[in-house]
Amino acid sequence: MEAPDSTAKTPDDVYTHGHHESVVRAHAARTAENSAAFLLPHLAPGLTVLDVGCGPGSITCDFARLVDPGRVTGLDRSEDVVAQARALAEERGVANASFMAGNVYDLELDDETFDVVHAHQVLQHLTDPVAALREMRRVAKPGGLVAVRDADFHGMSWYPELDELDEWMDLYQRIARHNGAEPDAGRRLVGWMQEAGFTDVSPSSSNWLYATPQQRAWQARVWSERVLHSAFAEQALEYGFAEQAGLERIAAGWHRWGSSADGWFLIPNGEVIGRA
């Protein structure tokens, strides 16, 4: 395996979502079962796992339970979010998980350290996802697994069809692409893995669906808050892609969708497991 180029410049990526409370709260609702089911058959007691972009640690702590007495390391670039992940592990009594701040392009970890390297909803926010995959491959043991899952924004569908949600999708695409990111990452995972040097690649797909009254209320609340208060809102205004009145209209549209008795919102996710 080739050593990383120590002279290469590390990209300075802009995170489209940011770490507003509404974003972190949504990420904390993710579990290994609802967000990493494609990987679960490959986990077993005693394995070592690196969870890249671990966020508040909910998936990481689930992994720790599944591989105990193996060790799990959660990594995120935000020190504040890492602190929340540590607090969650302590609250759950998870003793075999540790957390660190770090950069996916330049992991301060030894070569061939982990049996499994996992990243959930990370590659879509990067300007160079292939470089990140190569770095993830570097820290995986020979024969180990690199598992990634990302949403595909243009693959999302909803009902009722509302102009405000069309505006939201257009605005999200513009902001993410202005940041050099790829919001339709799910459909590109196989290609990125191949470009990163993986020859043994297993693709799959799974959905998140919001269609019950409770699910609709949750999704509508989360996104209406993000549209108005998160880095998404800040960037929309800073880049000149929207005005405050437009953001308020989109947020109201999310609430209108959430109150629709027949509301439906489907998020498709691409999933790939590559063997190092």
Does position 4 have pLDDT exceeding 50, yes or no? Answer: no
Does position 5 have pLDDT exceeding 50, yes or no? Answer: no
Q: Residue 106 sits in which domain range?
A: 21-275
With a pLDDT cut of 70, the percent of the chain lying above it is 93
User: What is the number of structural domains in the chain?
Assistant: 1
* pLDDT tens-digit readout, 56-98: 999 999 999 999 999 999 999 999 999 999 999 999 999 999 9
Is residue 90 situated within a structural domain?
yes
Per-residue pLDDT, 40: 98
Is residue 32 situated within a structural domain?
yes
pTM over 0.85: yes
Per-residue pLDDT, 90: 96
Is residue 5 situated within a structural domain?
no
Domain at 260, CATH number: 3.40.50.150
Does position 181 have pLDDT exceeding 90, yes or no? Answer: yes
Is residue 251 situated within a structural domain?
yes
Average pLDDT over residues 214-235: 95
pLDDT band at 6; cut points 50, 70, 90: very low
pLDDT band at 2; cut points 50, 70, 90: very low
* pLDDT tens-digit readout, 11-54: 678 877 766 676 667 777 899 999 999 999 999 999 999 999 99
Per-residue pLDDT, 11: 67
Is residue 238 situated within a structural domain?
yes
Does position 178 have pLDDT exceeding 80, yes or no? Answer: yes
Average pLDDT over residues 234-244: 97
Is residue 16 situated within a structural domain?
no
The overall average pLDDT reported for the chain is 94
Average pLDDT over residues 224-245: 96
Average pLDDT over residues 124-149: 98
What is the secondary structure of the chain as a DSSP string?
-PPP-TTSPPP----SSTT-HHHHHHHHT--HHHH-TTTGGG--TT--EEEET-TTSHHHHHHHHHHTTS-EEEEES-HHHHHHHHHHHHHHT--SEEEEE-BTTB--S-TT-EEEEEEES-GGG-S-HHHHHHHHHHTEEEEEEEEEEEE-GGG-EEES--HHHHHHHHHHHHHHHHTT--TTGGGGHHHHHHHTT--SEEEEEEEEEE-SHHHHHHHHHHHHHHHHHSHHHHHHHHTTS--HHHHHHHHHHHHHHHT-TT-EEEEEEEEEEEE-
Per-residue pLDDT, 219: 95
pLDDT band at 236; cut points 50, 70, 90: very high
* pLDDT tens-digit readout, 104-118: 999 999 999 999 999
